[in-house]
Chains A and B, each alone.
Chain A
Amino acid sequence: MSEKDRPLLIEAQDFNGLLLSLKRLGYATYAPTVRDGAIVYDLVDSADDLPIGIGDVQEPGSYRLRKRGDGSFFGFVVGPHSWKKFLHPPTVKLFTINSNGKIVANLENSDQKLAFIGVRPCELQAIKILDKVLLGGEYLDIVYASRRKDVFFVVVNCIEPGGNCFCASVGTGPEAKDGFDLCLTELLKPDGHYFLVRIGSEKGRELISSVHYRQATDEEVELASRLLTLSSEHMGKKLEIKGMKELLYRNLDHPHWDEVAKRCLTCGNCTMVCPTCFCTTVYETTNLSLKYAEKWRSWDTCFSQEFSYIHGGPIRYSISARYRHWLMHKMATWMDQFGTLGCVGCGRCITWCPVGIDITEEVKQIDKRDGEVKVKVE
């Protein structure tokens, strides 16, 4: 390792300095914080707002906080929110038009600089995927583009994966490789509480110089690396992605789709919590005087009938068709459409499914009984 690339080390007490520097630079500082029994993403004023000493326990359909008994700042994994809520807001008014067809109020673009603190490697990949979907094509999503243009990423690697995590299987974590301004690994050592810091951009380098730091020792670099290796070996879930696309494509009539459908509520929670699900519905409202109409956009879900409604009815009427469509998109058709998996292995869809449907388990079931075809009733 050249001395220039050598990671730095800051003490945990200096973390707050990073946050304050970001605020001084005009960033709105968003980070994990405890609210309503979960770790959500919200505006924070200082490091005191972080979930200090709090961890989470996640199972299919279940999420609980726990006291860790240490002073860790990032001793948890991902919660119910994802960063997409800031970049791709749940509801946006696109414009207001009057009865003469004149636009009287345009989309209010955001010029707020955003600092995302505590972004996980899987979430960074999710944002890269959204970049491709919403900015990578012929038409830019201007809502996303205006929010995305000045984001400072403080990524935190995951040394303790959660019960539903499988980033190691899909290659998005537990360590971020690039795309961040700063990337931290939290080290709770007998002699103190530190963050190993990798610099990913010039902005990151400037920020770190605003606090007290030193070069990390070989022993510290080695410790971080060992923790991350351990982490990737202890993921709560596993998914075999080799040959997965082909497996799914050749099992469109597999009986397991109907078996999932018996449990699936079509409530849409998986799509709402998914950090890469980007679908929206656009609708108009009018006021009583019919002098003005507004055009709005809200997060939509492919689990609703209206989502695929065309003349005559919804294309995907059955629950199994809707579940299959969603899983196939995340795990197979996304690759053909955008060149990557649509899944980043964060496990949110598993945790926040009210009945605990586990996407990794459903793929496994199809693999186990590869080639089975459901009996068609004539």
Chain B
Amino acid sequence: MKDSIPKLAVFKFSSCDGCQLSILDLEDELLEIGRRVNIAYFLEASRATVKGPYDVGLVEGSISTPHEKELIKDVRQKCKTLITIGACATAGGIQALRNWKDVKEFVSVVYAKPEYIETLEKATPISEHVKVDFELRGCPVNKYQILEVLTAFLAGRKPNIPSHSVCVECKRKGNVCIMVSNGVPCLGPVTQVGCGAICPSYGRGCYGCFGPMESPNAESLGERILQLGISKRDIVLMFKGFNGWSEPFRKAGDAFEE
């Protein structure tokens, strides 16, 4: 039976494993997932592996070492469909903050024997290295979006993953806008929906975990946040977060650098 169902593989590059854990968090659905797909390679869950090729590969993490740069090409070759999951894989992640700095200097300061460290100047998303079939955003990804992507894959349909702003979700929930009613700086208007508007639902501004929405006007939002009395430095820090290396947030962050 296992031969007739699609083979799923999960790969990890530079990342914290949180997105892989989101898959394991699908506790109520895991058994059914196991029935629908052959979980052939998922080291976070089991050391038992099945050789490729794989029908679908989920890739977590960014490319930050010469080794990973080669490995991703091999992974791409083994996977018919390749889906990247999470902010690291889709935008470089928090480790991409190095991209503005001198990595050699970090290495010399942090490690006792820097000569053992092989690392790239920049941490970059998977799509800069190989063709990616679908990107799932988030830091971490929303486990229900993972389920939706897998279900859509099995059904042979387009996944229903909208790319509009977090605000739409907030308003559908009936939340009161914290930026308008309380002056809380919030990245919701320029961030892609998917988390269920968690932070604004609890009175906290959106951190932008799901990266830029489809047509983000991040600089206009930054100007407004500046009017709310937030310093330029803090605005830079807001944009240069988990998705700081994504082009729209990168540009907006740079625009407010002093």
Contacts and interface: CB of A to CB of B under 8 A. Distances in A.
Given A264-B217, A267-B189, A35 B176 contact: yes
Interface string A83-94: 001000011000
A80 interface: yes
A299 B150 contact: no
B37 to A, nearest CB: 9
B165 A266 contact: yes
A142 B215 CA distance: 34
A149 B156 CA distance: 41
Interface in B136-173: 147-148, 150-152, 154-155, 157, 160, 162-165, 167-168, 171-173
Interface in A254-310: 262-269, 272-273, 283-290, 298-299, 301, 303-306
B247 interface: no
A374 B224 CA distance: 26
Contacts of B177: 63, 80, 269, 352, 354
B167 A63 contact: no
A80 B181 contact: yes
Interface string A71-101: 0000000011100010000110000000000
A312 interface: no
Nearest to B173: A90
Interface in B165-198: 165, 167-168, 171-177, 179-183, 186, 188-190
Interface string A148-170: 00000000000000000000000
A37 interface: yes
A63 B178 CA distance: 10
Given A285-B160, A286-B151, A288-B154, A265 B190 contact: yes
A290 B6 CA distance: 15
Nearest to B224: A355
Contacts of B133: none
Interface in A20-37: 35-37
A354 B180 contact: yes
A90 B174 contact: yes
A286 B160 CA distance: 10
A62 B220 contact: no
Contacts of A304: 162-164, 168, 214
Given A288-B29, A304-B214, A319-B217, A272 B179 contact: no
Interface residues of B, number: 45
Interface residues of A, number: 46
Given A298-B172, A306-B164, A265 B181 contact: no
A38 interface: yes
Contacts of B175: 36
B215 A266 contact: yes
B181 A37 contact: yes
A272 B167 contact: yes
Given A37-B182, A267-B189, A288-B150, A272 B171 contact: yes
A36 B176 contact: yes
Nearest to A303: B164
Contacts of A90: 171-174
Given A265-B190, A288-B36, 12 more contacts: A61-B180, A80-B176, A263-B217, A268-B168, A268-B171, A269-B167, A290-B155, A304-B168, A305-B215, A352-B180, A354-B224, A355-B220
10 contacts: A37-B176, A61-B180, A63-B181, A64-B181, A85-B174, A286-B151, A290-B155, A304-B168, A305-B164, A352-B180
Q: Which are the 5 A-B pairs with shortest beta-carbon distances?
A: A272-B171, A267-B189, A90-B172, A304-B164, A267-B165
Interface of A: 35-38, 40, 61-64, 79-81, 85, 90-91, 262-269, 272-273, 283-290, 298-299, 301, 303-306, 319, 351-352, 354-356
Interface of B: 29, 32-33, 36, 147-148, 150-152, 154-155, 157, 160, 162-165, 167-168, 171-177, 179-183, 186, 188-190, 203, 213-217, 220-221, 223-224
